Amino acid sequence: MQRLHSNHEQCWELIPWVVNGRASEVEQRAVLAHVEDCSECRDELQRHREIHSHMRGSDDVIAAPNASWQKLQEQIDLQPTPAAMKAYRIKRPWLVAALWLQLIAIATLAGALFRSAAPPSPEYETLSSTQTLDRRAAVRVVFAPNASLDKINQLLRSVECDIVAGPSEAGVYTLAAAENKDVQGIIASLREHSEVLFAERSQALAGSSQ
Amino acid sequence: MITRARNNTGNDTGPRVASLAKPPAALGNNEAELELIRRVSRRDRAALRDLYLLYHRRLSRFLMRLTQRQDLAEEIINDTLLAVWNSAERFRGDSRVSTWIVGIAYRRALKSMRRRSFEIIGLEDTEMLVGVDNVQACETQEWIEGALVALPIEQRLCLELAYVLGHSCEEISLITNTSVNTVKTRLFHARRKLSKLLPRLAGNP
C-alpha cells in the first residue's frame, strides 16, 4: 500500500463524487493524479467504478406508465376539492368544540348517575375510626374570669355537661349536653349563676368542627 | 412491464469515462422543471403529466433497485407525485426540483421498506455468499448486488442516491434531511464494508 500523496484522505473521500461525475474538474484531476501513486485509492476507484457501472447499468425501469398515470388521476379525483377542504377546515374547529362539549356533558351525567347509584354511606361508626361524631347538643358558654375551677366543675355536674372544646381566643367553651336533654333548660340553668357570663345554644353538633 | 438491460461490467471502460466527464443527465433541467412545478401549483394536469413521465423513469430505476417489486415501486411513485400535486404551491425553489421530489420518494421508500421488513440479507449470510469457496461460483453482478443488499438501509440509500440518481453529497443531505457529515459518515462506513465484501473488484485475487 502506498500513500505518497499528502492529500490521501481528501482524495479517498472524493472518489464517489469522481465516479458519479459530481466532483469539480479540479477535484477530478487531483484524484486521478493521486491514484497514479496511491494503490489504496486506485483500488477504491476501480471498485467504485465497477459498483457504479453495475448500479447504473441495471436499467430496471417500468415501461408504459399509462396505467399508473390513470391511477394517479383517479387518486387526485378522489381527493376533496380545495374549496371543500377549505370549508372542511372552517367547520372543523366547531366540530371539535362540539365534540368536546358533548364529551364533558356525558362525563358530568355519568358522574351524577354514579353518585346517585352508589350505596349511601353507612351510619355506623367503627372502633378504628379516628374521629367519632359526637351527636350531643352543644352549648357555648363564657365563664366569669373570677370563677373558680371547683365552682365550674360543680356547675357542669349540675347540668350534666362536659367541656368538649375551648376556650377559644374569646374565652368561649363548648359544652356537650347528654342526649335527649332539654338544652334550653340547661341554658336557663346556667344563666342563673353569676359565674356564667354567656350561655347560648350552638348551631353545630358537639363533635363537629365549628 | 419491466425492461432489464444490465451492462457488461467486465473490462469495458466506456460508461466509466462518460461518468467521470460530466454530471449525469438524470439531474435534468432545473429551470424547466421549476416551470412545470409552477404550472402544477395552478392545478395544470398537463404539467403534472409531463413531470410524471419525467420522474417515472428516474424514480422507477431507483425504486426498483430498492424494492425489487414493480407494484411497490409504482405505488411509491404515485404517492410521491400525489404529494407533489398537493404541495406544489408551497415549493419555494430553495433546492433543486429533483432534490425535493427525490426527497419525498426517499422518505416514502424508507417508510415502506421498514414497514414491509424487506428481505435484507444479514451480514453473516452475505459473508457466506461472498466467501472464498463461493466466490468462484457467483456472477459478478450478483456478487455486487449481494454486497449492496448487506449494507444498512441508510448507507445503501446514500450510495443509491449518489450512483443511480447522480446526486451530490449536499443534495443527498437535503434529500435525506441529514447533515453533510452524516452523509459522509454513512458513505464512509458503506465503502469500508464494501471493500471487505468486494475485494476482488479492486483487482485482488
Return the higher-pLDDT residue of B103 and B129.
B103
Give the DSSP H/E element, type plus range, for residue B188: helix B180-197
Cβ B19–A51 below 8 Å, yes or no? Answer: no
Cβ A72–B52 below 8 Å, yes or no? Answer: yes
Please tell me the predicted confidence (pLDDT) of residue A23: 93
Is A18 at the interface with chain B, CB within 8 A? yes
Please tell me the predicted confidence (pLDDT) of residue A198: 87
**For A20-50, how does the pLDDT look when each residue is reduced to its tens digit (9 = 90+)?**
999 999 999 999 999 999 999 999 999 999 8
How far is Cα A190 from Cα A202, in angstroms, rounded to an integer?
14
Q: Quick check: helix, strand or coil at residue B151?
A: coil
Please tell me the predicted confidence (pLDDT) of residue A112: 87
Closest Cβ–Cβ partner in A21, A50, A60 for B144: A50
Give the DSSP H/E element, type plus range, for residue A103: helix A82-117
Please tell me the predicted confidence (pLDDT) of residue B179: 95
Mean pLDDT, rounded, for A144-163: 86
Mean pLDDT, rounded, for A107-119: 83
Please tell me the predicted confidence (pLDDT) of residue B7: 39
The interface pTM score, or ipTM, of the predicted complex is 0.72
Return the higher-pLDDT residue of A200 and A204.
A200
How far is Cα B155 from Cα B149, in angstroms, rounded to an integer?
10
**For B167-178, how does the pLDDT look when each residue is reduced to its tens digit (9 = 90+)?**
999 999 999 999
Length reported for chain A: 210
For residue B74, is pLDDT > 70? Answer: yes
Please tell me the predicted confidence (pLDDT) of residue B8: 39
Backbone angles phi, psi at A76, to 5 degrees: -65, -45
Cβ B129 vs Cβ B138: under 8 Å:
yes
Question: Residue B160's closest chain A neighbor by CA?
Answer: A55
Cβ B81 vs Cβ B51: under 8 Å:
yes
E strand map for A40-160 = 61-62, 138-143
A186 burial via Cβ count (<10 Å: 0-12, 13-18, 19+)? buried
Mean pLDDT, rounded, for A134-139: 68
Residues of chain B with C-beta less than 8 angstroms from the C-beta of A62 = 1-2, 56, 60, 64, 70, 73-74
**For B114-148, how does the pLDDT look when each residue is reduced to its tens digit (9 = 90+)?**
776 544 444 344 444 444 444 444 567 788 888 98
Question: Residue B146's closest chain A neighbor by CA?
Answer: A51
Q: Quick check: helix, strand or coil at residue B8?
A: coil
Please tell me the predicted confidence (pLDDT) of residue A136: 65
Is B131 at the interface with chain A, CB within 8 A? no
Please tell me the predicted confidence (pLDDT) of residue B180: 94
Return the higher-pLDDT residue of B100 and A94.
B100
Strands A196-201 and A61-62: unpaired
CA-based nearest distance B60→chain A, Å: 5
* Mean pLDDT, all residues of chain A: 80
**For A78-104, how does the pLDDT look when each residue is reduced to its tens digit (9 = 90+)?**
887 766 666 666 566 778 888 899 999
CB-side neighbour CA atoms (13 Å) of B89 = 6
Interface of B with A in 7-66 (CB under 8 A): 7, 9, 15-16, 19-24, 45, 49, 52-53, 56-57, 60-61, 64-65
What does each C-alpha distance from B156 to A98, B74, B150, B152 come to in angstroms? 49, 21, 9, 6
Is A40 at the interface with chain B, CB within 8 A? no
Please tell me the predicted confidence (pLDDT) of residue A210: 43
